[in-house]
Structure 1
Amino acid sequence: MAQTYRIFMVEDDRNFGTVMKAYLEINGFLVDWIKDGLQAYKRFTENDYDICILDVMLPNTDGFSIAREIKENSPETPIIFLTAKVMKEDVIEGYSTGADDYITKPFDSEILICKLNAILNRHMRDQEVETKEEYKINEASFNPVLRVVQYKNDEYKLSPKEANLLLLLCQSENKVLPRETALKQVWGETGYFTTRSMDVYITKLRKYLRDVPGVEIINIHGSGYQLRTTNPV
Protein backbone atom coordinates (compact mmCIF):
# COMPACT_ATOMS: atom_id res chain seq x y z
CA MET A 1 0.00 0.00 0.00
CA ALA A 2 1.32 3.45 -0.93
CA GLN A 3 2.61 5.75 1.77
CA THR A 4 0.15 8.48 2.79
CA TYR A 5 1.95 11.69 3.67
CA ARG A 6 0.68 14.34 6.08
CA ILE A 7 1.19 17.98 5.13
CA PHE A 8 1.32 20.91 7.54
CA MET A 9 0.05 23.91 5.57
CA VAL A 10 0.09 27.50 6.86
CA GLU A 11 -1.97 29.86 4.68
CA ASP A 12 -4.13 32.78 5.83
CA ASP A 13 -5.96 33.31 2.52
CA ARG A 14 -9.16 31.32 3.01
CA ASN A 15 -10.08 31.05 -0.67
CA PHE A 16 -6.62 29.95 -1.76
CA GLY A 17 -6.25 27.66 1.26
CA THR A 18 -9.57 25.94 0.56
CA VAL A 19 -8.59 25.24 -3.05
CA MET A 20 -5.07 24.08 -2.09
CA LYS A 21 -6.27 21.74 0.64
CA ALA A 22 -8.84 20.15 -1.67
CA TYR A 23 -6.30 19.75 -4.49
CA LEU A 24 -3.67 18.17 -2.26
CA GLU A 25 -6.21 15.77 -0.76
CA ILE A 26 -7.41 14.76 -4.24
CA ASN A 27 -3.78 13.83 -4.92
CA GLY A 28 -3.63 11.54 -1.90
CA PHE A 29 -2.16 13.75 0.82
CA LEU A 30 -3.51 14.37 4.30
CA VAL A 31 -3.58 18.10 5.01
CA ASP A 32 -3.75 20.05 8.25
CA TRP A 33 -4.47 23.65 7.28
CA ILE A 34 -3.48 26.36 9.77
CA LYS A 35 -4.74 29.88 9.15
CA ASP A 36 -3.25 31.61 12.21
CA GLY A 37 0.50 32.09 11.90
CA LEU A 38 0.92 32.87 15.59
CA GLN A 39 -0.48 29.45 16.49
CA ALA A 40 1.42 27.61 13.75
CA TYR A 41 4.37 26.20 15.69
CA LYS A 42 2.21 25.11 18.62
CA ARG A 43 -0.07 23.30 16.20
CA PHE A 44 2.96 21.76 14.46
CA THR A 45 4.10 20.13 17.73
CA GLU A 46 0.70 18.50 18.25
CA ASN A 47 1.14 16.09 15.33
CA ASP A 48 3.74 14.35 13.22
CA TYR A 49 4.13 15.79 9.73
CA ASP A 50 6.06 14.61 6.70
CA ILE A 51 6.40 18.03 5.06
CA CYS A 52 5.39 21.69 5.56
CA ILE A 53 4.00 24.18 3.03
CA LEU A 54 4.31 27.73 4.35
CA ASP A 55 3.11 31.09 3.10
CA VAL A 56 5.48 33.97 3.87
CA MET A 57 3.12 36.91 4.30
CA LEU A 58 1.00 36.24 7.38
CA PRO A 59 -0.67 38.59 9.86
CA ASN A 60 1.33 39.19 13.07
CA THR A 61 4.23 36.95 11.97
CA ASP A 62 5.86 35.59 8.81
CA GLY A 63 6.60 32.21 7.29
CA PHE A 64 10.36 32.65 7.67
CA SER A 65 10.03 32.86 11.47
CA ILE A 66 7.79 29.78 11.52
CA ALA A 67 10.27 27.87 9.34
CA ARG A 68 13.18 28.72 11.61
CA GLU A 69 11.24 27.56 14.65
CA ILE A 70 10.33 24.29 12.94
CA LYS A 71 13.89 23.68 11.71
CA GLU A 72 15.39 24.48 15.10
CA ASN A 73 13.32 21.81 16.80
CA SER A 74 12.63 19.37 13.95
CA PRO A 75 15.51 19.80 11.48
CA GLU A 76 14.61 16.70 9.49
CA THR A 77 11.17 18.02 8.43
CA PRO A 78 11.16 19.27 4.79
CA ILE A 79 9.72 22.74 4.10
CA ILE A 80 8.39 24.35 0.93
CA PHE A 81 7.56 28.04 0.74
CA LEU A 82 4.53 28.85 -1.43
CA THR A 83 4.27 32.63 -1.63
CA ALA A 84 3.66 35.75 -3.68
CA LYS A 85 6.96 37.27 -2.48
CA VAL A 86 9.22 37.11 -5.52
CA MET A 87 12.09 39.45 -4.64
CA LYS A 88 15.56 37.91 -4.80
CA GLU A 89 16.26 38.75 -1.14
CA ASP A 90 13.06 36.95 -0.09
CA VAL A 91 14.02 33.82 -2.03
CA ILE A 92 17.48 33.88 -0.45
CA GLU A 93 16.03 34.32 3.02
CA GLY A 94 13.63 31.44 2.40
CA TYR A 95 16.43 29.05 1.50
CA SER A 96 18.55 30.35 4.39
CA THR A 97 15.94 29.03 6.83
CA GLY A 98 16.68 25.52 5.58
CA ALA A 99 13.76 25.25 3.17
CA ASP A 100 13.89 22.62 0.43
CA ASP A 101 12.11 24.75 -2.17
CA TYR A 102 10.71 28.23 -2.74
CA ILE A 103 7.74 28.42 -5.12
CA THR A 104 6.23 31.73 -6.16
CA LYS A 105 2.60 32.38 -7.04
CA PRO A 106 1.15 31.89 -9.58
CA PHE A 107 2.45 28.35 -10.03
CA ASP A 108 1.68 25.12 -11.88
CA SER A 109 -0.21 22.83 -9.48
CA GLU A 110 1.00 19.68 -11.23
CA ILE A 111 4.61 20.78 -10.82
CA LEU A 112 3.92 21.39 -7.11
CA ILE A 113 2.79 17.77 -6.73
CA CYS A 114 5.92 16.57 -8.56
CA LYS A 115 8.13 18.64 -6.27
CA LEU A 116 6.34 17.39 -3.15
CA ASN A 117 6.81 13.78 -4.20
CA ALA A 118 10.46 14.32 -5.17
CA ILE A 119 11.31 15.92 -1.82
CA LEU A 120 9.41 13.29 0.17
CA ASN A 121 10.96 10.39 -1.74
CA ARG A 122 14.45 11.82 -1.25
CA HIS A 123 13.74 12.36 2.43
CA MET A 124 12.56 8.77 2.86
CA ARG A 125 15.67 7.44 1.08
CA ASP A 126 17.89 9.50 3.37
CA GLN A 127 16.15 8.01 6.39
CA GLU A 128 16.60 4.48 5.03
CA VAL A 129 20.34 5.06 4.58
CA GLU A 130 20.63 6.05 8.25
CA THR A 131 18.70 3.07 9.66
CA LYS A 132 18.09 -0.29 8.01
CA GLU A 133 18.08 -2.58 11.02
CA GLU A 134 15.22 -4.61 12.41
CA TYR A 135 15.05 -4.89 16.20
CA LYS A 136 13.76 -7.93 18.03
CA ILE A 137 11.81 -7.11 21.18
CA ASN A 138 11.48 -10.63 22.52
CA GLU A 139 8.79 -12.16 20.26
CA ALA A 140 7.94 -8.84 18.61
CA SER A 141 9.87 -7.09 15.84
CA PHE A 142 10.34 -3.41 15.14
CA ASN A 143 11.30 -2.04 11.74
CA PRO A 144 12.38 1.61 12.23
CA VAL A 145 12.49 2.29 8.48
CA LEU A 146 8.90 1.18 7.84
CA ARG A 147 7.91 2.35 11.36
CA VAL A 148 6.14 -0.93 12.05
CA VAL A 149 5.85 -3.03 15.21
CA GLN A 150 4.75 -6.60 14.57
CA TYR A 151 3.73 -9.28 17.07
CA LYS A 152 2.12 -12.48 15.82
CA ASN A 153 -0.83 -11.34 13.68
CA ASP A 154 -0.86 -7.80 15.05
CA GLU A 155 0.86 -4.99 13.17
CA TYR A 156 1.05 -1.37 14.31
CA LYS A 157 2.09 1.53 12.09
CA LEU A 158 3.93 4.10 14.20
CA SER A 159 4.12 7.85 13.72
CA PRO A 160 7.61 9.31 13.08
CA LYS A 161 8.00 10.45 16.69
CA GLU A 162 6.75 7.11 18.06
CA ALA A 163 9.24 5.27 15.86
CA ASN A 164 12.15 7.55 16.81
CA LEU A 165 11.36 7.15 20.49
CA LEU A 166 11.08 3.36 20.25
CA LEU A 167 14.34 3.26 18.29
CA LEU A 168 16.13 5.06 21.12
CA LEU A 169 14.61 2.65 23.65
CA CYS A 170 15.69 -0.36 21.57
CA GLN A 171 19.21 1.02 21.22
CA SER A 172 19.44 1.28 25.02
CA GLU A 173 17.52 -1.94 25.77
CA ASN A 174 17.66 -2.84 29.48
CA LYS A 175 19.47 0.42 30.16
CA VAL A 176 18.09 3.79 31.18
CA LEU A 177 17.25 6.16 28.35
CA PRO A 178 17.69 9.63 29.90
CA ARG A 179 14.62 11.79 29.54
CA GLU A 180 16.66 14.77 28.30
CA THR A 181 18.33 12.65 25.62
CA ALA A 182 15.00 11.48 24.24
CA LEU A 183 13.50 14.96 24.33
CA LYS A 184 16.41 16.54 22.48
CA GLN A 185 16.71 13.81 19.84
CA VAL A 186 12.99 13.33 19.15
CA TRP A 187 11.49 16.74 19.97
CA GLY A 188 14.58 18.92 19.67
CA GLU A 189 13.97 20.65 23.00
CA THR A 190 13.26 20.06 26.66
CA GLY A 191 10.45 21.66 28.59
CA TYR A 192 7.20 21.03 30.38
CA PHE A 193 5.01 20.66 27.28
CA THR A 194 7.44 18.42 25.38
CA THR A 195 7.88 16.29 28.51
CA ARG A 196 4.12 15.85 28.79
CA SER A 197 3.99 15.02 25.10
CA MET A 198 6.66 12.34 25.51
CA ASP A 199 4.70 10.77 28.38
CA VAL A 200 1.75 10.42 25.99
CA TYR A 201 3.96 8.74 23.39
CA ILE A 202 5.39 6.33 25.98
CA THR A 203 1.82 5.32 26.86
CA LYS A 204 1.17 4.60 23.16
CA LEU A 205 4.31 2.44 22.89
CA ARG A 206 3.29 0.49 25.97
CA LYS A 207 -0.04 -0.22 24.30
CA TYR A 208 1.67 -1.61 21.19
CA LEU A 209 3.87 -3.94 23.28
CA ARG A 210 1.46 -4.84 26.07
CA ASP A 211 0.78 -8.39 24.82
CA VAL A 212 4.43 -9.29 24.20
CA PRO A 213 5.66 -11.62 27.00
CA GLY A 214 8.60 -10.35 29.04
CA VAL A 215 8.50 -6.81 27.65
CA GLU A 216 7.71 -3.60 29.50
CA ILE A 217 8.63 0.08 29.34
CA ILE A 218 9.44 1.29 32.82
CA ASN A 219 9.50 4.82 34.16
CA ILE A 220 12.76 5.32 36.06
CA HIS A 221 11.83 8.09 38.47
CA GLY A 222 13.91 11.22 38.01
CA SER A 223 15.96 9.70 35.20
CA GLY A 224 14.02 8.50 32.19
CA TYR A 225 12.67 5.29 30.73
CA GLN A 226 13.85 1.74 30.24
CA LEU A 227 12.78 -0.87 27.69
CA ARG A 228 13.08 -3.95 29.89
CA THR A 229 13.09 -7.35 28.26
CA THR A 230 13.26 -10.60 30.20
CA ASN A 231 12.98 -14.20 29.07
CA PRO A 232 9.32 -15.19 29.54
CA VAL A 233 8.79 -18.30 31.65
Structure 2
Amino acid sequence: MRESLSLLLVEDDHSLNEELGIFLSDFFDTIDSFYTAEEAYVKYLTTSYDLIITDIQLPNQNGLALVEKIKKKNPSQMVIVISAYKEVDYFLKSIDLGIYSFLTKPFDSQLLINTMIKVTNQLQHTKVKSDTTTVLLHEGVSFDLKTKSLHVKDVQQELTAKEELLLFILVKNVNAFVRNEQLAQEIWQSDEVNNSTLRALVKRVRDKLGYDDCITNLKNRGYKLTAHLS
Protein backbone atom coordinates (compact mmCIF):
# COMPACT_ATOMS: atom_id res chain seq x y z
CA MET A 1 0.00 0.00 0.00
CA ARG A 2 1.32 3.43 -0.98
CA GLU A 3 2.01 5.84 1.87
CA SER A 4 0.70 9.41 1.58
CA LEU A 5 3.34 12.11 1.05
CA SER A 6 3.27 15.82 1.91
CA LEU A 7 5.13 18.74 0.34
CA LEU A 8 5.90 22.33 1.31
CA LEU A 9 6.46 24.40 -1.85
CA VAL A 10 7.99 27.90 -1.70
CA GLU A 11 8.10 29.83 -5.00
CA ASP A 12 7.40 33.56 -5.36
CA ASP A 13 6.53 33.41 -9.07
CA HIS A 14 2.75 32.92 -8.84
CA SER A 15 2.34 31.27 -12.25
CA LEU A 16 5.29 28.90 -11.71
CA ASN A 17 4.05 28.14 -8.20
CA GLU A 18 0.70 27.10 -9.67
CA GLU A 19 2.30 25.08 -12.50
CA LEU A 20 4.59 23.23 -10.09
CA GLY A 21 1.67 22.55 -7.77
CA ILE A 22 -0.25 20.90 -10.60
CA PHE A 23 2.77 18.88 -11.75
CA LEU A 24 3.77 17.79 -8.25
CA SER A 25 0.24 16.71 -7.36
CA ASP A 26 1.01 13.52 -9.30
CA PHE A 27 3.63 12.70 -6.66
CA PHE A 28 2.30 14.25 -3.43
CA ASP A 29 -1.06 13.88 -1.73
CA THR A 30 -0.82 17.14 0.21
CA ILE A 31 0.86 20.32 -1.08
CA ASP A 32 1.03 23.59 0.85
CA SER A 33 2.27 26.44 -1.35
CA PHE A 34 3.68 29.79 -0.27
CA TYR A 35 5.24 32.80 -1.97
CA THR A 36 7.55 33.92 0.86
CA ALA A 37 10.00 32.23 3.20
CA GLU A 38 8.43 33.89 6.23
CA GLU A 39 4.95 32.48 5.56
CA ALA A 40 6.38 29.05 4.78
CA TYR A 41 8.39 28.91 8.01
CA VAL A 42 5.40 29.87 10.15
CA LYS A 43 3.50 26.95 8.60
CA TYR A 44 6.48 24.63 9.00
CA LEU A 45 6.58 25.25 12.75
CA THR A 46 3.19 23.58 13.13
CA THR A 47 3.21 21.04 10.29
CA SER A 48 5.38 18.08 9.31
CA TYR A 49 6.37 17.61 5.66
CA ASP A 50 8.05 14.77 3.85
CA LEU A 51 9.75 17.16 1.41
CA ILE A 52 10.39 20.88 1.04
CA ILE A 53 11.01 22.49 -2.34
CA THR A 54 12.08 26.12 -2.23
CA ASP A 55 13.36 28.72 -4.66
CA ILE A 56 16.49 30.63 -3.64
CA GLN A 57 15.48 34.10 -4.81
CA LEU A 58 12.52 35.00 -2.60
CA PRO A 59 11.29 38.42 -1.42
CA ASN A 60 12.70 39.63 1.93
CA GLN A 61 14.44 36.38 2.87
CA ASN A 62 16.75 34.15 0.81
CA GLY A 63 15.52 30.57 0.33
CA LEU A 64 18.79 29.17 1.68
CA ALA A 65 18.27 31.16 4.89
CA LEU A 66 14.91 29.40 5.18
CA VAL A 67 16.57 26.02 4.64
CA GLU A 68 19.19 26.82 7.28
CA LYS A 69 16.50 27.60 9.87
CA ILE A 70 14.59 24.43 8.98
CA LYS A 71 17.71 22.27 9.16
CA LYS A 72 18.54 23.64 12.61
CA LYS A 73 15.08 22.61 13.76
CA ASN A 74 15.06 19.28 11.90
CA PRO A 75 18.48 18.20 10.50
CA SER A 76 16.97 15.20 8.71
CA GLN A 77 14.38 17.23 6.78
CA MET A 78 14.61 16.43 3.07
CA VAL A 79 14.93 19.56 0.92
CA ILE A 80 15.23 20.34 -2.79
CA VAL A 81 16.45 23.80 -3.80
CA ILE A 82 15.52 25.41 -7.12
CA SER A 83 17.07 28.50 -8.68
CA ALA A 84 17.35 30.43 -11.93
CA TYR A 85 21.04 30.84 -11.18
CA LYS A 86 23.92 28.42 -11.58
CA GLU A 87 26.50 30.14 -9.38
CA VAL A 88 28.83 27.69 -7.70
CA ASP A 89 28.50 29.41 -4.32
CA TYR A 90 24.75 28.68 -4.23
CA PHE A 91 25.42 25.04 -5.04
CA LEU A 92 28.14 24.71 -2.41
CA LYS A 93 26.02 26.44 0.22
CA SER A 94 23.23 23.99 -0.58
CA ILE A 95 25.63 21.09 -0.09
CA ASP A 96 26.70 22.59 3.24
CA LEU A 97 23.07 22.57 4.34
CA GLY A 98 22.65 18.92 3.37
CA ILE A 99 20.00 19.34 0.70
CA TYR A 100 18.83 16.39 -1.38
CA SER A 101 19.07 18.05 -4.82
CA PHE A 102 19.77 21.37 -6.54
CA LEU A 103 17.70 22.13 -9.66
CA THR A 104 18.11 25.10 -11.99
CA LYS A 105 15.43 26.94 -13.95
CA PRO A 106 14.27 26.63 -16.65
CA PHE A 107 13.66 23.02 -15.72
CA ASP A 108 14.62 20.06 -17.84
CA SER A 109 11.27 18.27 -17.72
CA GLN A 110 12.74 14.76 -17.81
CA LEU A 111 15.27 15.60 -15.10
CA LEU A 112 12.48 17.02 -12.95
CA ILE A 113 10.37 13.87 -13.42
CA ASN A 114 13.33 11.60 -12.69
CA THR A 115 14.19 13.58 -9.55
CA MET A 116 10.62 13.36 -8.27
CA ILE A 117 10.44 9.63 -8.94
CA LYS A 118 13.72 9.10 -7.10
CA VAL A 119 12.90 11.28 -4.10
CA THR A 120 9.36 9.96 -3.64
CA ASN A 121 10.58 6.36 -3.91
CA GLN A 122 13.08 7.12 -1.16
CA LEU A 123 10.44 8.82 0.96
CA GLN A 124 8.12 5.85 0.52
CA HIS A 125 10.94 3.51 1.51
CA THR A 126 11.61 5.62 4.61
CA LYS A 127 7.95 5.52 5.63
CA VAL A 128 7.70 1.78 5.12
CA LYS A 129 10.73 1.18 7.33
CA SER A 130 9.58 3.66 9.98
CA ASP A 131 8.23 0.81 12.09
CA THR A 132 11.62 -0.86 12.15
CA THR A 133 15.04 0.39 13.15
CA THR A 134 16.89 -1.49 10.41
CA VAL A 135 17.90 0.50 7.32
CA LEU A 136 18.82 -1.35 4.11
CA LEU A 137 21.80 0.39 2.50
CA HIS A 138 22.75 -2.03 -0.25
CA GLU A 139 22.07 -5.62 -1.20
CA GLY A 140 23.11 -7.62 1.85
CA VAL A 141 24.14 -4.50 3.82
CA SER A 142 21.99 -3.10 6.64
CA PHE A 143 22.38 -0.93 9.73
CA ASP A 144 20.25 -1.06 12.86
CA LEU A 145 19.74 2.44 14.27
CA LYS A 146 18.69 1.13 17.67
CA THR A 147 21.60 -1.19 18.32
CA LYS A 148 24.06 0.66 16.02
CA SER A 149 24.98 -2.68 14.46
CA LEU A 150 26.15 -3.21 10.88
CA HIS A 151 25.39 -6.45 9.06
CA VAL A 152 27.06 -7.39 5.79
CA LYS A 153 25.80 -10.59 4.15
CA ASP A 154 24.21 -11.65 7.45
CA VAL A 155 27.48 -11.23 9.36
CA GLN A 156 27.64 -8.58 12.08
CA GLN A 157 30.69 -6.36 11.64
CA GLU A 158 32.94 -5.34 14.52
CA LEU A 159 32.64 -1.57 15.02
CA THR A 160 34.43 0.79 17.37
CA ALA A 161 32.35 3.30 19.30
CA LYS A 162 33.29 6.11 16.91
CA GLU A 163 32.59 3.94 13.85
CA GLU A 164 29.14 3.17 15.26
CA LEU A 165 28.47 6.86 15.84
CA LEU A 166 29.66 7.91 12.38
CA LEU A 167 27.45 5.31 10.72
CA PHE A 168 24.50 6.28 12.90
CA ILE A 169 24.78 9.95 11.86
CA LEU A 170 25.27 9.16 8.17
CA VAL A 171 22.42 6.64 8.07
CA LYS A 172 20.08 9.12 9.76
CA ASN A 173 20.96 11.55 6.94
CA VAL A 174 21.22 8.95 4.17
CA ASN A 175 21.72 10.38 0.65
CA ALA A 176 22.44 13.86 2.04
CA PHE A 177 25.75 15.50 2.90
CA VAL A 178 26.61 15.97 6.58
CA ARG A 179 29.04 18.77 7.29
CA ASN A 180 32.48 18.02 8.73
CA GLU A 181 31.75 20.37 11.61
CA GLN A 182 28.61 18.47 12.57
CA LEU A 183 30.46 15.14 12.47
CA ALA A 184 33.30 16.53 14.59
CA GLN A 185 30.91 17.93 17.16
CA GLU A 186 28.76 14.81 17.44
CA ILE A 187 31.60 12.25 17.37
CA TRP A 188 34.38 14.06 19.26
CA GLN A 189 32.37 16.85 20.97
CA SER A 190 34.81 19.30 19.43
CA ASP A 191 34.83 21.80 16.57
CA GLU A 192 38.54 21.28 16.00
CA VAL A 193 39.21 17.81 14.64
CA ASN A 194 42.02 17.19 12.18
CA ASN A 195 40.63 16.37 8.71
CA SER A 196 42.99 13.40 8.46
CA THR A 197 41.48 11.94 11.63
CA LEU A 198 37.99 12.18 10.15
CA ARG A 199 39.16 10.77 6.80
CA ALA A 200 40.75 7.79 8.55
CA LEU A 201 37.53 7.05 10.41
CA VAL A 202 35.49 7.31 7.22
CA LYS A 203 37.90 4.99 5.39
CA ARG A 204 37.53 2.30 8.04
CA VAL A 205 33.74 2.48 7.79
CA ARG A 206 33.89 2.47 3.97
CA ASP A 207 35.94 -0.71 4.07
CA LYS A 208 33.40 -2.39 6.36
CA LEU A 209 30.41 -1.36 4.23
CA GLY A 210 32.17 -2.83 1.22
CA TYR A 211 30.12 -1.46 -1.70
CA ASP A 212 31.19 1.06 -4.35
CA ASP A 213 30.74 4.78 -3.60
CA CYS A 214 29.13 4.00 -0.23
CA ILE A 215 30.49 7.18 1.36
CA THR A 216 31.49 10.19 -0.74
CA ASN A 217 32.78 13.61 0.19
CA LEU A 218 32.92 17.00 -1.52
CA LYS A 219 36.04 19.13 -1.11
CA ASN A 220 36.19 18.49 2.62
CA ARG A 221 32.78 20.13 3.06
CA GLY A 222 31.02 16.99 4.19
CA TYR A 223 30.31 13.30 3.73
CA LYS A 224 27.32 11.48 2.29
CA LEU A 225 26.27 7.89 2.76
CA THR A 226 24.58 6.63 -0.38
CA ALA A 227 21.99 3.86 -0.24
CA HIS A 228 22.19 1.90 -3.48
CA LEU A 229 18.69 0.45 -3.66
CA SER A 230 16.86 -0.89 -6.67
TM-score (norm 2): 0.52
What SS is found at the alignment partner of 1:58?
A: coil
Given the alignment of the two structures, is residue 65 of structure 1 paired with residue 65 of structure 2, yes or no?
A: yes
Paired residue for 2:121?
121
Judge conservation of contact 2:8–2:40 (CA < 8 Å) in 1. Answer: no
In 2: Cα distance, 1:13 partner to 1:67 partner? 19
Which range is displaced more, 118-127 or 3-12? 118-127
Instruction: Give the distance between the partners of 1:76 and 1:20, measured in 2 at CA.
Output: 24
Larger radius of gyration: 1
Moved more, 90-99 or 23-32: 23-32
Per the TM alignment, residue 30 of structure 1 is displaced from its structure 2 partner at its CA by 2.3
Letter in 1 for 2:31: V
The residue type equivalent to 1:81 in the other structure is V
Tell me if structure 1 keeps the 8 A contact 2:80–2:100. Answer: yes
In the TM superposition, structure 1's runs of 4+ consecutive aligned residues that sit over 3 Å from their partners are 26-29, 123-131
**C-alpha displacement of 1:118:** 1.5
Distance 2:129 2:4 in 1: 21
Distance 2:28 2:78 in 1: 18
Q: Tell me, in whole angstroms, the C-alpha distance in 2 between the residues paired with 1:23 and 1:122.
A: 19
Deviation at 1:93, TM superposition (A): 0.9
Report the counterpart of residue 98 of structure 1 in structure 2.
Answer: 98
Change beyond 3 A, Cα 1:110–1:74: same
SS of the residue corresponding to residue 111 of structure 2 reads helix
* CA RMSD in angstroms, aligned pairs only: 2.1
Residue 40 (structure 1) shift: 1.9
**Given that residues 12 and 35 in structure 1 are in contact (C-alpha distance below 8 angstroms), is that contact kept between their aligned partners in structure 2?**
yes
Q: Identify the residue that residue 10 of structure 1 maps to in structure 2.
A: 10
Measure, in 2, the Cα distance between the counterparts of 1:101 and 1:116. Answer: 10
**TM norm structure 1:** 0.52
Cα 1:120–1:28 change in 2 (3 A) is closer
Unmatched segments (≥5 aa) in structure 2: 134-230
Q: Structure 1 counterpart of 2:74, which letter? A: S
Question: Partners of 1:68 and 1:28 in 2: how far apart?
Answer: 24
Equivalent residue of 2:53, what SS?
Answer: strand
1:61 aligned counterpart, secondary structure: coil
Amino acid at match of 1:62: N
- State yes or no: 1:109 paired with 2:103: no
Q: Distance in 2 between matches of 1:101 and 1:14?
A: 22
With a CA cutoff of 8 Å and minimum separation of 6, indicate the structure with the bigger relative contact order: 2
Closer, same or farther in 2 for the Cα pair 1:68/1:110, shift >3 Å?
same
Any idea what the Cα deviations from partners look like across 1:66-91, whole Å, max 9, x if unmatched? 10111111122210011112111111
Partner of 1:31: 31
